[in-house]
Amino acid sequence: MGDRFDAVVVGAGIIGLTTALRLQQAGVRVAVLTAESSAETTSSVAAAVWYPTRTRFEPHVLDWAVRTYDEFTRQAADGVPGVIMRPTRMLLRGEAQDVPWWASALPDLRTLHRDEVRDPFTGGWAFTVPSVEMSRYLPWLQQTFAAAGGTLIRRRIDALEQAGVWAPAVVNASGLGARALCGDAEVRPVRGQLVLVANPGLSMSVRDEDNSDGYTYVHPRSTDIVLGGTFEIGEWDTTPSPDTAAAILRRCTELLPELAGTPVLGHQVGLRPWRQGGVRLEADPRPPGRVRRLVHNYGHGGAGVTLAWGCADAATALVAGAVRPG
């Protein structure tokens, strides 16, 4: 088939598509190789609110988060489909806590004091972050990529070296698929179950991560509200559990009584591509077969939307230095 492209990105979720667009903007001829449509990826199920969920602080991770926040802020101002800036409250229990490590990414984070919250909360943080409706945003990414001359190849591969048929440079943005594609046993699913309900008029996202009964958040969108959730490491089952759904509804209604009696619209389960050692974003020192440059960009767990554009910038720098664009 020959080297028809400069680079091929394996994966069409938020990480793969943002990387493909950044490569295009750097003048690289790009194809996206995927076994499933973007609508079938884990990204399509994500609540997709900027927030470094279960992500450890490292300087480069903060840089990725800042770059992504800034890009989404620009896109929201430009009217990109599905992207808006949403007021958020993170409610805390127990002793006062220092501001989070990612606070410097946000221009407006402030501490909530005891008199601004109700029992059992003792304080919290208020801030504004990008909220992304993936049913609108993923198609926009794909259409933008195609309009700039990008090619989408629907094909399943079982080894990264097979992607070398299309290009000498490969970006592995395969998410959970990286467990098999490059034999990374650190990659494991983190099961997240959601309940979708009608929106009775709420506009603020609210989180209660200290709830001993489970992970709790309420994320309004234009036509519904995402209620969550779970963070079940190593669980592969994508069938919604009625008991889990009932528990999510109970916790979220306790958090926001306005949700009582709100009609349930649906249930979803996604498997976040979590990695024990954190995101793997690096050039592989031993690219396989005919692949001359292999860049890994996977393992984002529940922070894919939060880190996507910053990681796309970093991955593009690693690829662009090794290929001759055009």
Under 8 Å CB-to-CB from 135, ≥6 apart: which residues?
A: 39, 44, 82
Residue 113 burial class via C-beta count within 10 angstroms: exposed 0-12, middle 13-18, buried 19 and up: exposed
Query: Are 262 and 225 a contacting pair, CB within 8 Å?
Result: yes
Give the pTM: 0.96
- The letter for the amino acid at 85 is M
CATH numeric code, 7-320: 3.30.9.10
Distance CA 295, CA 283 (A): 4
Question: Using the 8-state DSSP alphabet, how is residue 300 labeled?
Answer: B
Q: Quick check: 2 pLDDT over 60?
A: no
Per-residue pLDDT tens over the stretch 221-276: 999 999 999 999 999 999 999 999 999 999 999 999 999 999 999 999 999 999 99
Distance CA 216, CA 123 (A): 16
Q: Quick check: 1 pLDDT over 50?
A: no
What is the pLDDT averaged over residues 149-153?
Answer: 97
**Can you tell me which residue has the tokens 């919250």?**
117
Query: Are 298 and 273 a contacting pair, CB within 8 Å?
Result: yes
Q: Quick check: 3 pLDDT over 60?
A: no
Given the DSSP bridges, would you call strands 205-208 and 83-92 parallel, antiparallel or unpaired? parallel
Lowest mean pLDDT among 42-56, 110-124, 147-161: 42-56
CA angle 206, 212, 214 (to 5 degrees): 60
